[in-house]
Structure 1
């Protein structure tokens, strides 16, 4: 069978999961989705509606929240349906619409986290020039460029898998369609395509991570030399929230890349679990962390809650 509307893919989620656990897993995914939806909506709403949050760092945080919200909305409802009603089917067209969306939003997340590192670098290492270097218009432009670049990358990566012939196996061992999970189902040899996808992923994520690590090494060195151990904890405290996000986003991803490259954990369910850890956990944890750890957001949210309680 050639690529056509008659061919469809089946998302397996956790391929080895017994059916008796489907309702539990479906409820877990539903709760994750609802939590992510509410948490990210709150962050986006606060940044848009509250004038004192119209600052570069909060604009970047809102940009990350928008990306995470779109990612979860484009992937999780189908998995909830799969585990609650058994409907894991995706048409050929739907799968190849989802593929560039997934790669685009992964890229947006990675580059947005990098923008956070740039913001912290300028704020700590060049504080007197911060307001002239990092402005609201420049931040909005950088976020817009991030979306445009990542959209182009997402479409380009997805285009590698689209021309491949699909005529047999159709079970995608994942929560969503992506290059590596779909290309492996092709009737033709897709090893080069999957290898290219691996290199693209390494470049898109490990490149920014290397930049982030370098920027924080410079930040720590700057704190060491300028504060002379006085108030260094207060300065570093402004970076801790970002470090949480970096850890949640990158560490499980590195493990999964190692799995794919060296087959350290040759078990499909473990692979899917690791992907879920670096994909969905940051999406609902990050906005909660920002609300709890960022003073301006926490105080603004506290005032709103207090008003609601007092009527």
Structure 2
């Protein structure tokens, strides 16, 4: 047969960052572990944010422990089936994340552009239905990616140059033409990304236009400040992801493996890690706590300075 000279792949090996010097592996794994701990322990439990928090925690739990163990315990091997399971959750949770960002934009759009209709349209029951819909509808297209990719003949290299298993990383290792599988996956990714992104851009353009109609400057600033966290997260989530997808499908953008992996980790791990910081720091009690701590530190510094002055001016010093 045509595959008679090839061995059948039974597991994959995750390289993490291929160009990483062994001396820095401990530092990188420690940083990834810190990202994981912050993501799991720090996410706030707000209502729509609750879905984003759950998605962030699940994504980090799906991807980070394995790549951390690759550097801590030199265990980069992942079984054939486990790699596809990880691939499913990577794309499934990424799709859910995109839909939740869509819901967040809808929430801000109704709150600022249609404040009187907001409590009538976006009830708790409506949020619950929309959230469940996001989690359910994201499963089918991602499951289809796995079902189409799993039976392919993987008889060449088993080295995945990434920190986790994804569709591009796996299917490029198949001993067959990737186009019939890669192009539909790219189209699906663009639909699931650009569809919500189109509404997000529309909603924030409408919000900015509505805000600048407000006469009071303080009210303008307050309205815009409620949207700033979402804009930061959306920028981190969408911009690098679109660049990687375009580069992976031959649209004239080229990255080295290490740069590509850094960008992937940027949009995969930074939003889940900084979500708690952005949303928690906006809470009134959290800000008051930091103000109190700052005052306490200032008093301690003054107290230490006085002690030093008294000590060095005392007789015999």
Bin of the TM-score, shorter chain as denominator length: 0.7 to 0.9
Distance in 2, matches of 1:202 and 1:277, equals 19
The equivalent position to 1:228 in structure 2, one of 215, 223, 234, is 215
Question: Quick check: 2:25–2:71 contact (8 Å CA) kept in 1?
Answer: yes
| Long gaps (5+) in structure 2 | 294-317
* Partner residue in 1 for 2:310: none
* Partner residue in 2 for 1:132: 120
The equivalent position to 2:26 in structure 1, one of 20, 23, 28, is 23
What are the within-5 Å matches in structure 2 for residues 79-90 of structure 1?
A: 79-90=67-78
Distance in 2, matches of 1:115 and 1:301, equals 30
Which one has a bigger Cα radius of gyration?
2
| Long gaps (5+) in structure 1 | 48-57, 306-311
What are the within-5 Å matches in structure 2 for residues 269-288 of structure 1?
A: 269-288=258-277
- Structure number having the greater helix percentage: 1
- Counting matched residue pairs gives 285
TM-superposed deviation, 1:244: 1.4
TM-score with structure 1 setting the length: 0.86
Question: Quick check: 2:52–2:97 contact (8 Å CA) kept in 1?
Answer: yes
TM-superposed deviation, 1:278: 0.3
Question: Quick check: 2:281–2:287 contact (8 Å CA) kept in 1?
Answer: no
Distance in 2, matches of 1:233 and 1:294, equals 17
Flag the 1:166–1:89 CA change in 2: closer, same or farther, 3 A: same
Distance in 2, matches of 1:140 and 1:286, equals 21
Question: Quick check: 2:8–2:154 contact (8 Å CA) kept in 1?
Answer: no
Question: Quick check: 2:109–2:207 contact (8 Å CA) kept in 1?
Answer: yes
2:252 corresponds to 1:255:
no
* Partner residue in 1 for 2:153: 165
| Matched position secondary structure for 2:117 | helix
CA-atom RMSD in angstroms: 2.2
TM-score with structure 2 setting the length: 0.84
TM-superposed deviation, 1:160: 2.3
Question: Quick check: 2:9–2:154 contact (8 Å CA) kept in 1?
Answer: no
